[in-house]
């Protein structure tokens, strides 16, 4: 797990930061056992969808216990006692001549644009509270995977996908609220 990403950019005056949370289709369905790092991290490989998880956030919930989740879905791929959020592409259209999909109906890749960003004075924050602000983490829709596993019919994902700025359940994308900029302080600069 990384709590910060550090890199360099060419010298210049920057006023915006733009990035995409997700993996392009061309890389998303490669063999994770042969992929270079960090694409070889199997905890971010989705074996049932044969692709990568773009984000994996595993939250604990005191009210959703393992026995309840086993009743919901007896053959859970990944056991959980909480509300996991695993973001990845869904609806891969299979080509019978290839193991890799040529497209996915739900790419679930979000482009984040943060304007007014000064890398010398500010940091980017992934705000978990904002991500789950409109989700009930103590409930799980019947007959769905626990939490939000990016399944297009899972109502537990509505708030998550909306806050990521993704279209979901026939609703258009809205501006994302998960990432924000914050003034750098002593804690952030260490």
In terms of pTM, does the model score above 0.85? no
Q: How far apart are CA 138 and CA 186, in angstroms?
A: 35
Q: How far apart are CA 119 and CA 132, in angstroms?
A: 27
Select from 20, 18, 42 the least CA-distant residue to 31: 42
DSSP secondary structure code for residue 171 in this structure: B
- Tens digit of each residue's pLDDT (9 = 90 or more) over 62-113: 665 544 445 555 555 444 568 999 999 988 766 555 567 778 889 999 999 9
Please compute the mean of the pLDDT values over residues 44-52 and round it to a whole number.
Answer: 77
**What local confidence, expressed as pLDDT, does residue 67 receive?**
46
- Tens digit of each residue's pLDDT (9 = 90 or more) over 126-179: 999 999 999 999 888 999 989 999 999 999 999 999 999 999 999 999 999 999
**What local confidence, expressed as pLDDT, does residue 62 receive?**
60
Q: Residues 74-104, buried b or exposed e (16+ Cβ, 10 A)?
A: eeeebebbbbbbbbbbbebeeeeeeeebeeb
């Amino acid at each position: 797990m990384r709590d910060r990403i550090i890199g360099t950019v060419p010298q210049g005056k920057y006023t915006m930061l733009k990035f995409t949370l997700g993996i392009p289709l061309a890389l998303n369905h490669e063999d994770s056992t042969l992929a270079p790092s960090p694409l070889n991290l199997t905890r971010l490989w989705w074996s049932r969808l044969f692709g990568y998880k773009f984000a994996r956030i595993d939250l604990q919930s005191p009210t959703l216990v393992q026995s309840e989740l086993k009743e919901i879905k007896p053959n859970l791929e990944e056991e959980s006692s909480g509300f996991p959020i695993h973001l990845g592409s869904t609806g891969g259209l299979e080509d019978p001549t290839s193991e890799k999909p040529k497209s996915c109906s739900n790419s679930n890749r979000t482009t984040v644009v943060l304007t007014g960003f000064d890398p010398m004075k500010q940091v980017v924050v992934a705000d978990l509270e904002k991500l789950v602000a409109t989700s009930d983490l103590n409930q799980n829709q019947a007959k769905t995977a626990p939490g939000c596993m990016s399944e297009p019919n899972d109502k537990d994902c509505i708030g998550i996908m909306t806050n990521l700025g993704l279209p979901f359940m026939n609703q258009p994308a809205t501006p994302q609220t998960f990432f924000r900029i914050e003034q750098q302080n002593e804690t952030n600069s260490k």
